Every structure is written in structure tokens, then in C-alpha cells.
């Protein structure tokens, strides 16, 4: 296995605790000399499922890009901390900032295309990328958001109904809650306690895209049949009002789940961040 | 020349089938080992299947939207006789990079 190494769990801790996030840096065979790309996966997924198996990492490596992947807390090969704080979106963003700094991302400098960081997020990862881009304008160069939504289905999750369902099998009335819980239970590698902790933490910090919007160029991509991303035009409008360049791309025939492997999505993303 | 057929491999996680989203190769095309062959969707995620070997594509099974069960034929390659080896063996040119990969199981029939 070449062109890839695993970084130790972040060497510097944020707020004195280590959430044990699993980080990998994937080096290209021929480096294009451009800034690194951070990939942020979706809820109940992992870097492996969201980015490796779907072909994103090799596509970006083939384009000469250095790729950073991080498994979210409780996902993939990351730890499942017991404290709720490790799962809050603000804490996750702080950990991501520390991680990308530790692996060499540097603040943007005019005329130096190796500085800064490009972001690609998917679903929950798009929400995190939106906020990360809004709060780190000195670092973030361009952002690609897959399956993005201005709503927050995780904040609307009915935690009480889910816990009752897990305890005694009482059916869950809200279809979105039932669907998300099914997703959370599907992967043996994902810890259900951690999934519910993440949801609880997100309820404390629900997504409010208008509160802080990125002002860097944005590419929003969703499948034509992606119901969760039906609000993508609202996000585009919010970012557009801040004066940032916004492009949107709808992939025909694809859903929230299966847009991720789309060649059109990958090619558009590689081109968009390849400047 | 010899033909070598690969079935849909075990995708792990207890999955028994996958739906074809899009083929990335077509009959007559020469492909390299590890080149993405097809986009598939399972009940858990969508993924690309890398080619288990180099060769010329002879046939592909399943149109977009079709469901294929694990173990059913997926793709047939034409390879030179001297590299086909005993039917059912996987060429050993380098270590596979992905956990999800095809392997021939014809010798188990």
C-alpha cells in the first residue's frame, strides 16, 4: 500500500480531552502542488464507506490532491467517547481544525496555491463543512457540499420515541426518526450509543445556515431524487446573499444515498476545487 | 485467449444483493486491474467495484436498475491463455488495495 499513511490520533487535544478521532492522510502519486482536501462524511457512515469505497479518494489522488479523512466520533474507526461534549458540532469543528493544522494545512496566502484547505462534505458532513467554512475564512479556499440541506433532520429527531422503541419495541411515528434510527442500527461498526449521543448533541446546536454562512466559492450537489436535499436552493440563496460565488449541480436519477458514486459529482468537485 | 467470469463478490455486512447504478466499462474495452468497473447500490451505501484483473471486457451482466445477487455472474473478461491459469484462480500481480473486491469461485461449483 503506497501513497497513504495513518496519522496518530491528533497530537494536540482541544480543551484537554482527546475524542480519539481516526485520521488518515492519502498522498497522491504525483502531487499537483495544490492545498489539501478535507473530506467530512455523513451521519452513520464512515470515511471508508463515504469516501473510499465510493471511489472519491482515488479520484482525488489521481487529480494530484492530498486527501485528509477523519471518522466522526462514534463512527468508523474513531472512539466512542462517553461525554456528550465530544459530539457537539462546535467541538467536532474545533477537533477538525486541530487535525488539519497538525497534518500541515496552512492559512491562505495570496498567490500560493499550496496554502489553505478545500472541503468536501456529505449530508451531515456538509453541515459541518458549511460551518467550518464560515468560521475559518483564513483557511478555507473552496467548499463542495453533497446532499446538503438547510433543514436539520438530526435536530428534529424524536429521541424519546427512539429510546422507547429500543427499550420495548413501541413503533416510531415520525418517519424521518424511524429512517435515521434504522440507518444508525445498520452498521455493526457504528456504536448506537454514540449515534444517539451525536443526535442529542446536535439537538443542542441545531444547524442554522443563516447564522454563519461561508463567503468562499461553494458548489452544492444533490441527486434529483434526494428529498433531504430539497432545500438546497435555500442554502444557495443564503450563501449568494453573502456575496460568495455559488454553483449548484443536480444529478439526474440519483437519490441521497446513491449520488455519492456519481462520476458527474466527482468530476464537478475535482474541477471546482482544482484552481 | 480464454474467458474468465467473475460473480458479484461478497460485499460484507451481511449483504446478499446489489443494484446496478451505472457501468463504467463496456464490452470490448480493455481495463486495468483496480480500474472501477461499476457503480453499485446496496441497502447500506453506494460503492464502486474495482476490477480484479486486467483484461478485455467480453460481457457485462445487469442494466442500471437491475438487482444482482451475490454469487451471480457480473462480468466476463477475455485474457491471454498464459495468464488465465487454472480457471478460478486470481492473478497475483500485486496486493489488492481495497477490501471490497471480486474473486472467482468457479472452482467451488
Block means of pLDDT (10 residues each) for chain A, 275 residues, are 48 80 97 97 95 97 98 94 95 96 96 97 97 97 96 94 95 94 84 93 96 95 93 94 92 95 98 96
C-alpha cell at B2: 480464454
Residue of B nearest to A1 (CA): B97
The answer to whether residue B98 neighbours chain A at the CB level (below 8 Å) is: yes
Residue of B nearest to A253 (CA): B21
pTM, whole model, 2 decimals? 0.88
The answer to whether residue B45 neighbours chain A at the CB level (below 8 Å) is: yes
CA angle B25, A46, A27 (to 5 degrees): 65
Show the DSSP H helices in A122-262 as ranges: 124-135, 159-168, 175-186, 192-204, 232-241
Nearest to B67 by CA among B1, B15, B20: B20
Residue of A nearest to B98 (CA): A53
Q: Euclidean distance between the first and final Cα of chain A, in Å?
A: 29
The answer to whether residue A1 neighbours chain B at the CB level (below 8 Å) is: yes
Residue A19: predicted pLDDT: 85
The structural domains of chain A, ordered by start, are 4-151+209-273 (3.40.50.1820)
- Give the minimum alpha-carbon distance from B1 to chain A in angstroms, rounded to a whole number: 31
E strand or H helix at B55, and its extent? strand B55-60
Sign of CA dihedral B94, B95, B98, B103: positive
Answer yes or no: do B46 and A261 touch at CB < 8 A.
yes
Contact criterion met (CB below 8 Å) for A264 and A249: yes
Contact criterion met (CB below 8 Å) for A68 and A34: no
C-alpha cell at A21: 478521532
CATH of the domain at B9: 2.40.50.100
B24, B43, B100: residue with CB nearest A53: B100
Please count the structural domains in chain B. 1
Residue A2: predicted pLDDT: 39
Residue A41: predicted pLDDT: 97
DSSP code per residue over A9-30:
S-SS-BTTB-----EEEE--SS
The answer to whether residue B100 neighbours chain A at the CB level (below 8 Å) is: yes
Residue A96: predicted pLDDT: 97
DSSP code per residue over A102-113:
HTT----BTTBT
The answer to whether residue A57 neighbours chain B at the CB level (below 8 Å) is: no
> Residue A174 gets which letter from DSSP?
-
Residue B15: predicted pLDDT: 86
- Give the minimum alpha-carbon distance from A262 to chain B in angstroms, rounded to a whole number: 8
A187, A259, A261: residue with CB nearest B48: A261
The alpha carbon torsion through A32, A38, A42, A47 (nearest 10 deg) reads 70
Chain A residues touching B39 at Cβ < 8 A: 258, 261-262
Domain extent for B96: 2-108
Residue B86: predicted pLDDT: 52
Contact criterion met (CB below 8 Å) for A118 and A143: yes
Q: Which residues of chain B have pLDDT under 50?
A: 108-109
Residue of A3, A258, A260, A265 to mutate, interface with B, max B Cβ within 10 Å:
A258
The answer to whether residue A162 neighbours chain B at the CB level (below 8 Å) is: no
Answer yes or no: do B36 and A55 touch at CB < 8 A.
yes
Q: Complex ipTM, two decimals?
A: 0.85
Amino acid at each position: 500500500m503506497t501513497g497513504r499513511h495513518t496519522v496518530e490520533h491528533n497530537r494536540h487535544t482541544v480543551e484537554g480531552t482527546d475524542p480519539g478521532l481516526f485520521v488518515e492522510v492519502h498522498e497522491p502519486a504525483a502531487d499537483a502542488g495544490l492545498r489539501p482536501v478535507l473530506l467530512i462524511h455523513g451521519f452513520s457512515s464512515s470515511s471508508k464507506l463515504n469516501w473510499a469505497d465510493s471511489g472519491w479518494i482515488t479520484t482525488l489522488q489521481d487529480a494530484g490532491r492530498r486527501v485528509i479523512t477523519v471518522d466522526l466520533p462514534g463512527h468508523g474507526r474513531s472512539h466512542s467517547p462517553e461525554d456528550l461534549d465530544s459530539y457537539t458540532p462546535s467541538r467536532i469543528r474545533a477537533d477538525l481544525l486541530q487535525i488539519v493544522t497538525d497534518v500541515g494545512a496552512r492559512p491562505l496566502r495570496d498567490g500560493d496555491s499550496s496554502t489553505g484547505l478545500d472541503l468536501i462534505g456529505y449530508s451531515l458532513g456538509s453541515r459541518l463543512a458549511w460551518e467550518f467554512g464560515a468560521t475559518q475564512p483564513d483557511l478555507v479556499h473552496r467548499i463542495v457540499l453533497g446532499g446538503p440541506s438547510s433543514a436539520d433532520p438530526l435536530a428534529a429527531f424524536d429521541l424519546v420515541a427512539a429510546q422507547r422503541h429500543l427499550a420495548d419495541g413501541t413503533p416510531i411515528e415520525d418517519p424521518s426518526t424511524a429512517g435515521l434510527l434504522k440507518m444508525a442500527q445498520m452498521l455493526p461498526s457504528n456504536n448506537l450509543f454514540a449515534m444517539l449521543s451525536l443526535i442529542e448533541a446536535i439537538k443542542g446546536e441545531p444547524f442554522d445556515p443563516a447564522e454563519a454562512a461561508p463567503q468562499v466559492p461553494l458548489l452544492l450537489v444533490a441527486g434529483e431524487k434526494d428529498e433531504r436535499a430539497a432545500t438546497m436552493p435555500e442554502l444557495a440563496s443564503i450563501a449568494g446573499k453573502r456575496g460568495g460565488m455559488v454553483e449548484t449541480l443536480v444529478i439526474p436519477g440519483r437519490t441521497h444515498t446513491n449520488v455519492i458514486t456519481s462520476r458527474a459529482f466527482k468530476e464537478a468537485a475535482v474541477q471546482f476545487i482544482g484552481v | 485467449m480464454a474467458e474468465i467470469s467473475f460473480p458479484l463478490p461478497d460485499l460484507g455486512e451481511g449483504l446478499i444483493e446489489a443494484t446496478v447504478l451505472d457501468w463504467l466499462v463496456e464490452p470490448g474495452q480493455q481495463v486495468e486491474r483496480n480500474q472501477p468497473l461499476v457503480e453499485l447500490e446496496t441497502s447500506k451505501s453506494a460503492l464502486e467495484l474495482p476490477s480484479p484483473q486486467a483484461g478485455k471486457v467480453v460481457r457485462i451482466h445487469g442494466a442500471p436498475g437491475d438487482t444482482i445477487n451475490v454469487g451471480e455472474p457480473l462480468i466476463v473478461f477475455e485474457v491471454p491463455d498464459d495468464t488465465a491459469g487454472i480457471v478460478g484462480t486470481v492473478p497475483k500481480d500485486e496486493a489488492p488495495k481495497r477490501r471490497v473486491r471480486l474473486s472467482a469461485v468457479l472452482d467451488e461449483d
